[in-house]
């Protein structure tokens, strides 16, 4: 756990330009800020206009509420700091790609063809595959793979530097 907590510069901006930099500890999994170093600015400042940390040369605004204390938003769409379990969930799911989802869904569909129509395994298959099909339909594009004679539909890429991924070739474009 200690490797997930780092020391970061904590900056407060006062009275239209007075900048005070101290330090804080940031939990990289949850976004929680602790051990914020404070200084007595004496009488030279009145109104704090902004507080932020510096992480990888980026300024990330700090947030505060009575339930969570000080924190920063590290996860897209995350409101409030996340729990350790949620962070572990996000980390585990990060390695699951759209190519994986397409491949397992296709694999299950092929395996189901070897079962008799009355087999109870088939009873729940539609409801089990439904959430995967929602993801597949959401991420599928009208573009097709540019590799040789693949011709597979391309999906929105799970890598930020690419637009598309081919689940058949497992190649990004």
- Tens-digit pLDDT profile for residues 35-81: 999 988 766 788 889 999 998 888 999 998 887 889 898 765 554 56
Rounded mean pLDDT of the chain?
85
Based on the fold, state whether residues 51 and 17 are members of the same structural domain: yes
- Domain assignment present for residue 91? The answer is no
What residues make up the domain containing 135? Answer: 97-172
Q: Report yes or no: 158 and 172 within 8 Å, Cβ to Cβ.
A: no
Residue 1 has pLDDT above 50, yes or no: no
- Domain assignment present for residue 92? The answer is no
Q: Report yes or no: 35 and 4 within 8 Å, Cβ to Cβ.
A: no
Backbone angles phi, psi at 165, to 5 degrees: -140, 140
- In degrees, rounded to 5, the angle at the alpha carbon of residue 165 between the alpha carbons of residues 162 and 168 is 160
Q: 104 by DSSP, 3-state: which?
A: helix
How many domains does the chain divide into?
A: 2
Which of 83, 115, 135 is the C-terminal boundary of a domain?
83
- Domain assignment present for residue 90? The answer is no
């Amino acid at each position: 756990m200690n490797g997930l907590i780092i020391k970061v510069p904590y900056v407060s901006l006062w009275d239209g330009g007075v900048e005070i930099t101290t330090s804080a500890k940031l939990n990289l999994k949850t976004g929680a800020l602790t051990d914020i170093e404070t200084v007595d600015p004496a009488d030279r400042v009145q109104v704090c206009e902004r507080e932020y940390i510096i992480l990888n040369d980026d300024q990330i605004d700090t947030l505060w509420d009575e339930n969570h204390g000080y924190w920063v938003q590290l996860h897209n769409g995350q409101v409030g700091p996340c729990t350790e379990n949620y962070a572990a969930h996000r980390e585990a799911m990060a390695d699951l790609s759209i190519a994986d989802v397409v491949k397992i869904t296709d694999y299950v569909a092929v395996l189901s063809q070897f079962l008799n129509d009355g087999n109870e395994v088939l009873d729940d298959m539609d409801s089990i595959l439904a959430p995967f099909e929602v993801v597949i339909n959401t991420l599928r594009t009208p573009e097709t793979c540019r590799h040789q004679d693949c011709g597979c539909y391309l999906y929105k890429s799970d890598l930020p530097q690419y637009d598309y991924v081919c689940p058949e070739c497992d190649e990004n474009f």
